[in-house]
Amino acid sequence: MKTKEQLITFLYGDQGEEVLKRLDLLLEQWNAMIPSRGQVKKKLPLDERDVIMITYGDSIRKEGEAPLKTMKGFADQWLQEMVSGIHILPFSPYSSDDGFSVIDYRKIDPDLGDWDDMSRLGEKFQLMFDVVLNHCSAESEWFKNFLKGDSKYKNYFHTIDPSTDLSSVFRPRALPLLTEFDTSEGKKHVWTTFSEDQVDLNFSQPDVFLEFVDIILFYIARGAKIIRLDAIGFLWKEIGTSCMHHEKTHAMVQLFRSILNEAASHVVLLTETNVPYVENISYFGEGFNEAHMVYQFTLPPLTLEAFIRENATHLTEWAASLPEINDEHSYFNFMSSHDGIGVLGARGYLNDDELDHMIEVVKERGGRISYKATPDGGEMPYEMNINYRDAIVHPDLPLKLKAMQFVSSQAVMLCLSGVPGIYIHSLLGSGNWQDGVAESGIKRRINREKLNSDQLVAELEEEGSLRQLIYADFKELLKIRRAHKAFDPTSPQYILKLDPEVFALVRTAYDGSESILCLQNSSRRRLHMTLDGRNCPLPLRDEFDCLTEGGSSIEVEDNSWTITLEPYEVMWVKF
């Protein structure tokens, strides 16, 4: 791993010595507020008990109460046995993109509550915060000062001559790359990767880098255990390149990791890059010197395709190709989030016909499709905007089977090597929020419903309701996962190739104390299969403990197991 001195020199050249002095002074200033300074831990500071719920600060609302306070009350009552941490999506004052156009990084939006509310939420749950560092709001004081000609902010943003050839730049949206603004020096064109309200920050300027180091340390002092680097792949701009995954972007992630190793070794660094799989895992770095965890963006679309087609072959092949990781790093496994289901992560695993079929099914089930620009001036699908439950579940199934089908898809995430990140609307069994799309015109609102606290609790307490069934099944699986060392994020996994309909693997505790067979049936068919030395790398025992319901569906004979799986059944067996 390169030292921070080497990284700073690579990034800032002749300015490096001065940047290093300012950085060391900044770290010293935060020293007293981050007491774990200097204690570099060699093992990922997460284990099988760690499960993260992803939510907006106001996903649950109660009249007359700050949403963060409402979230604490709900989480304390309903989630303590299920999750260890809560990812509060961007909580600062913002001007667009449901929080991802930040006006002031050090404040909490008063409509959500205040830092005391956040601190109280963190009393029983670890906290995960976003650092939206590629861009900020055009309404921020930083950008307003830039427009006024304030010398401090003169180089905070990228200004580009509109005649410049930018055709090689990777575009995540079918929108213009440059936006014209009136400044004290006349009209200027500013780099805006995602929208005209989200102005890209210039990390080639040391002041911007040091500003964000201070913000990250501020968040850690406020209780953040996991730092999520939003849209990090776009960070460093160089004309003539794609400006995606630039070598200096990777160097910046290495530098942030080096800073955390020195100042806050208990904090986990997570990178968010919604790109094809090989590009995504590049953020582990060479020798695992960048992020502690990376998102598994390939997992949601391949799981969706498996349950639509009732065939887990592609999902199994992808999982079998995952590189081994060491005990310092792991994956952040998720199925759903505040955004849509990314299409890019599935490319290379699904052919065009399979992608088109999945997209058509999503549209039939109430979803929308978002597009990105291509270099030839065309468009291609970028993400499917739909609630994951409604994407997975066949609309004609009986209620109980709907719950089983959905939870079986989620069990894939829970058993894989890594840390599960469960979106609140999946955990609570929500569906498409069509009113949100109609009212706002924003496709992503379909999966961002604001739930009334009293109504939510009533539905969770309604025996046999779809919400109650999904919540109860989730709770049972999470209790099992959190009680077994085999599910440690970094423990070994062995992907099995059984019937095409089944996603199967074995997880084994590092100390050899237990192995757990995990089977998920993606089909509505009852399946019969035999497990023995030909398709399982570990010796099977005559004695076993079926952790989920269905233990009577295993017959043992001559070192082999004959297994029956019911439609959409999840079977986890300890042996």
Mapping DSSP to helix (H, G, I), strand (E, B) and coil, where does residue 531 land? strand
Residue listed under structure tokens 């719920």: 53
CA-based max dimension of the chain: 83
CB 423 within 8 A of CB 88: no
Full 3-state SS string of 117-171? HHHHHCCCCEEEEEECCCEEECCCHHHHHHHHCCHHHCCCECECCCCCCCCCCCC
What residues are labeled active site? 230
Helices (H) and strands (E) in the chain, counts: 17, 25
Helix or strand (DSSP H, E) at 527:
strand 527-531
Full 3-state SS string of 66-116? CHHHHHHHHHHHHCCCCCCEEEECCCCCECCHHHCCECCCCCCCCCCCCHH
User: What Å distances lie between residue 257 and 12, 233, 252, 265, CA to CA?
Assistant: 17, 16, 9, 9
- Centre a 10 Å sphere on the Cβ of residue 266 and count the other Cβ atoms it contains: 13
Burial 529-544 (b: 16+ CB within 10 A, else e): bebeeeebeeebeeeb
User: What Å distances lie between residue 266 and 360, 421, 570, CA to CA?
Assistant: 44, 19, 34
Mapping DSSP to helix (H, G, I), strand (E, B) and coil, where does residue 537 land? coil
For residues 20 and 176, give the distance between their C-alpha atoms in angstroms, rounded to a whole number: 36
Residue 93 is which amino acid? P
